[in-house]
Chain A
Amino acid sequence: MNSLSRRNLLRLGLSSAALASLPGRTFAQAVAQPAPFNDYKALVCVFLFGGNDSYNMVVPRSNAEYNVYAASRQNLAIPQANLLPINPLNSDGAQYGLHPSMATMQPLFEAGQAAFVVNTGPLIEPTTKTQYQNQAVALPPQLFSHNDQQDQWLTLKGQTVSGTGWAGRIADLLRDNVAGQQLALNASLFGNTIFQAGANTVAYTMGPTGPLPFTGFADTGIGLEQRLAFERIISANYDSIYERGFADVQQRAVATADLVTNAIANAPTLNTVFPAGQLGTQLQTVARLIAVRDRLSLERQVYFVATGGFDTHDDQEQLQPGLIGGISDAIAAFYDATVELGVANSVTTFTQSDFGRTLTSNGDGTDHAWGGIQLVVGGAVVGRTLYGTYPLLSIGGPDDVGGGRMIPTTSADQYAATLARWFDVDPMDLPTVAPNIGNFTTQDLGFLA
């Protein structure tokens, strides 16, 4: 295989291992060549590293429920009068409000472009407090541990060992449908993530403002020679897996950098103003890439963007307005950009985070818990709705396993399966994406149409 065709294949996100198995696939492909989608959809995962204290993001504001909340949260409670009222179309009898820093999200929710999935988190099967206490159900291992619960959200692996993430498995499932894409289905703007690791596909990782061109490489003259020499060095045969792993990354970098950089350079200027900061910068880059989707023949994309600082063991009251306001402002601006680009109905943004946090305080902060609230935004969102069951926020209550750690009543698998279904993953393939989905009666939570 010459280096050019290898490069083209790498551009599609096929790993070396996958390349090795290609000849064996040819017959099967010829028999049943999956069709391209002929439309565009993007999922944008906004990961909130550290564990967002989301029970301060959507808060009951009706008196009875607020009083329970305030009694549990004490000095960490948002004052009732400061909550930004929202009016969900579905009612559980209580009224709700948003954290006061979410002024940009409040109108999107009220207009039906945003929804929240409440008390969701990793579960293997439906779990009650009694079952939890009696160890009568299978539980995700290492609850309350950052990296383990991040992995649960990103891989949905439950008690199994998994080297792939649910977006990676989506890419594996759809790779023949999107064979014409010039960029891998999965793209990260926040480093390597297991979320996008597939068995047969590889994500492309760029920086917060997109990929970088290589200094000193050119299409003519000595710059071309430099590039070719570099390419031959990284395409050589190496004895060690470490050298090969490193060289594979370099090959994808060289193969893709110019393509994407040139495409972005030709992107139309967006009028939408993004907030400064990590999340705003990454989402602005995603918007610019979506703007050139046709130039790169893109039909299905999963973007991974992220920000950190949510592990508020200390100073939560001071930190939370910036953290939650930051999510709200960046995602709202991104939604505006998709409207400006005419793709609002084709782009769905959703949050994930390690876990919710304890309702109780450690003095000036909170500790690691379990269930929490996630935000979904986009034109396809059946919005102005709280999906799932908002828990009773009482310490020692029916959903509390101790210290105000809520047992999720909606699983991360259901959340992912709903997103995957909208993304046109075949219903038969949902267990591949969300391995525990068969343990839950509702496979599609209905927040996307």
Chain B
Amino acid sequence: MRHNISVNNRRLVHLVTLLSAFAISACGGGGSSSGGPPPPPPPPPVTKTEAFQVLNQASFGATEAAADQVIQMRIEGWLDNQLQQPASLQLPHLLSLPRPPVPGQLQPDRVDIWFRNSLSGNDQLRQRVAFALSEIMVVSQLGALQQAPYSLASYYDMLAENAFGNFRDLLEHVTLHPAMGVYLSMLGNEKPNPALNIRPDENYARELMQLFTIGLVELNIDGSVKLDGQGMAIPTYNQQIIEGFAHVYTGWNYAGAPSFQQARRNVQNQTIPMQLYPAFHDTGAKMLLNGVVLPAGQTGDQDLTGALDNIFDHPNVGPFIAQRLIERLVTSNPSPQYITRVAETFNDNGSGVRGDLGAVVQAILLDAEARPATPADLDGKLKEPLLRLTQLWRAYDAVSTSGRYPVGAAYILFGQGPLQSPSVFNFFSPFYAPSGEIAAAGLVAPELQLATEYQNTLHTNVMAVYTFTWNSANVANLNPDDVYIDISEEMAIADDIDALIDTVADKLLAGQISTTLRAEMANMLGRIPEPNGEAARAAEAIYLVVTSPEYAYQR
């Protein structure tokens, strides 16, 4: 409930700021003639480069149309507008489709609706943050949820709907979602039975803390590891605490079943919060974090509230979530000061509210480190493979004849797909540092873990298909589900090599193209004969950009 208040508070603060600005200017109305300070000069207009920069951080890829919008609204205004956009959803779409004999056959449709929302939803920032959260609070189609596409869609919708809400709410929704219940085996977890050596399942207890909220060791506000007197890291929890939480998470199963043991998945109950079956909840005392002990005899709901409050209040959550979200959106190696500023916003949004994710997202994207005066000063990150694809498809209005984007094998083609992680540890580790200069400098490059020789080659080859074959000049030869890019504008100017390069560079790189890439494009384009080479030239130009290191770099 406090979280609705938090949103209202933010609006209120905003309103108050506006009103007081108005009041000041109204009072000072006659002051200009009496020698008061001149009004500050209007801020310089947002450049296209700056617009692309924020859009690559805050959407599924910059486009010239989106950049125009950002330039017109200014970055703050565009973000304010994005924070108000309602979530584009997946589940209604899946429920509108005929039910296949095997539920898992709907997984490509789930990926389809993910692409539709991610490519063209008005709630770009919300969807991008949901995607980031789906890589932190991981559930996956690969494994026990293969036959639960509705559950996965509903989980993703839940992330989108809570992307700008309060983190404490998000924790509760994640914890009680049956997709998470299945994936980390809290669903069906029951109180101990010592006679049979049965004790509660520790899976969710462990990963909720290690991966979703606080991590393994105590952190300073700037994300660095806190050390004890001997210079050693301080563990956040021990096995006894894991067991305490494991006992908290007992007694939950699919909602609406005749009994705990008779709970079975159906289309409806896989999309609504799990239900407590009190007889299966352990009622003993439970050791939590920081010396907190839940008393014996509480209900399962009381235990859950106490446990999630206990985690939410841990000082690690701010720096932990700040760093994870900064890494997903802006840069792999944020400065300690940047993490501190965002963590402090998590701890208090300015109105005394802890965990306001909308404020956290704003703090991340409006920070000086994300918005340097000179855009090239941004350290940035490598783009995730899927985001390299969505940027291309957004910039080139990619569609299929069927209207669908059923890239069900995204996790194979790109090494990642929506809710298709190989494990709860996501597609890559936040700590990945390839040996060589990155490791030597003490830096990380998480996305580079996916960039193996094999995966990069496969990606490059897929891009060859998506440019040379699946394009608007070749629609007659494509299957209805083949997603093709619109190269008509490039074909129209294909006889002018410089103009063609400029157009592609404008659409994909905000015009910031290296001399090497430009020279090699000119070289290759000059080798493709005219006439009738228009499509080949257009595709060649796009292919060379989207497979280049500079396109892979989100700067």
Contact = CB atoms under 8 A, between A and B. Distances in A.
A249 interface: yes
A205 B436 contact: no
Given A243-B553, A313-B185, A232 B452 contact: no
Nearest to B242: A144
B203 interface: yes
Contacts of A247: 549
Contact of A142 (B235, B429, B544): B235
Interface stretch (B148-156, B365-373, B440-448): B440-448
Interface in B410-428: 415, 422-423, 425
B83 interface: no
B382 A246 contact: yes
B296 interface: no
A215 B457 CA distance: 9
Contact of B436 (A15, A188, A404): A15
Interface residues of A, number: 82
Contacts of A206: 453-454
Interface string A68-98: 0001111100000000000000000000000
Nearest to B545: A233
B445 A241 contact: yes
Contact of A362 (B202, B423, B434, B449): B202
A202 B210 contact: no
A211 B456 CA distance: 11
B206 A145 contact: yes
A241 B331 CA distance: 12
B15 interface: no
A212 B454 contact: yes
A226 B539 CA distance: 13
Interface in A186-245: 188, 191-192, 197-199, 202, 204-207, 211-216, 222, 225-226, 229-230, 232-234, 236, 238, 240-245
A180 interface: no
A368 to B, nearest CB: 7
Given A205-B454, A222-B527, A308-B423, A243 B199 contact: no
Interface stretch (A250-258, A262-270, A381-389): A250-258
B494 to A, nearest CB: 16
B453 A144 contact: no
Contact of B196 (A15, A75, A309, A315): A75
Nearest to A260: B453
Interface string B451-471: 111111110110011001000
Given A367-B202, A402-B239, A309 B143 contact: yes
Interface string B496-520: 0000000000000000001011001
A16 interface: yes
A240 B380 contact: yes
Interface in A361-377: 361-365, 367-368
Interface in A110-150: 141-148
B216 interface: yes
B435 A168 contact: yes
B238 to A, nearest CB: 10
A164 interface: yes
Given A314-B144, A368-B206, A147 B197 contact: no
A142 B448 CA distance: 25
A144 B198 contact: no
Nearest to B211: A147
Nearest to A146: B425
B197 A72 contact: yes
Contacts of B432: 192
Nearest to A72: B197
B445 to A, nearest CB: 6
Contacts of B203: 311, 313, 367
Contacts of B553: 238, 240, 242-243, 246
A435 interface: no
Interface string B121-135: 000000000000000
B457 A244 contact: no
A31 interface: no
Nearest to A15: B436
Given A17-B436, A211-B454, A246-B448, A233 B549 contact: yes
Nearest to B432: A192
Given A241-B438, A363-B190, A232 B199 contact: no
B549 A243 contact: yes
B433 A234 contact: no
Contacts of B210: 145
A357 to B, nearest CB: 11
Given A147-B425, A212-B458, A246-B552, A363 B201 contact: yes
Interface in B214-251: 216, 233, 235, 239, 242
B390 interface: no
A220 to B, nearest CB: 13
A202 B197 contact: no
A71 B196 CA distance: 8
Contacts of B438: 241, 245
Interface string B24-37: 00000000000000
A33 B177 CA distance: 62
Given A212-B458, A363-B189, A233 B548 contact: yes
B423 A207 contact: no
Most chain A CB within 10 A, of B332, B445, B456, B468, is at: B456
Contact of A236 (B216, B423, B441, B514): B514
Contacts of B527: 222, 225
A242 B434 CA distance: 11
A163 interface: yes
A420 interface: no
B260 to A, nearest CB: 11
Given A222-B527, A246-B552, A232 B516 contact: yes
Contacts of A225: 523-524, 527
B194 to A, nearest CB: 10
Given A74-B196, A206-B454, A313-B184, 15 more contacts: A15-B435, A15-B436, A147-B425, A163-B439, A205-B453, A205-B454, A211-B453, A229-B524, A233-B544, A241-B443, A242-B380, A245-B437, A362-B185, A363-B190, A367-B202
Interface of B: 143-144, 184-185, 188-190, 196-203, 206, 210, 216, 233, 235, 239, 242, 332, 379-382, 415, 422-423, 425, 429, 432-441, 443, 445, 448-458, 460-461, 464-465, 468, 514, 516-517, 520, 523-524, 527-528, 544, 547-550, 552-553, 555
15 contacts: A145-B210, A147-B429, A163-B439, A197-B435, A225-B527, A229-B520, A234-B549, A243-B550, A246-B382, A246-B448, A361-B197, A362-B201, A363-B190, A363-B198, A395-B197
Give 9 nearest A-B pairs by CB, closest first: A205-B452, A362-B201, A253-B453, A236-B516, A243-B549, A313-B185, A215-B461, A360-B197, A207-B454
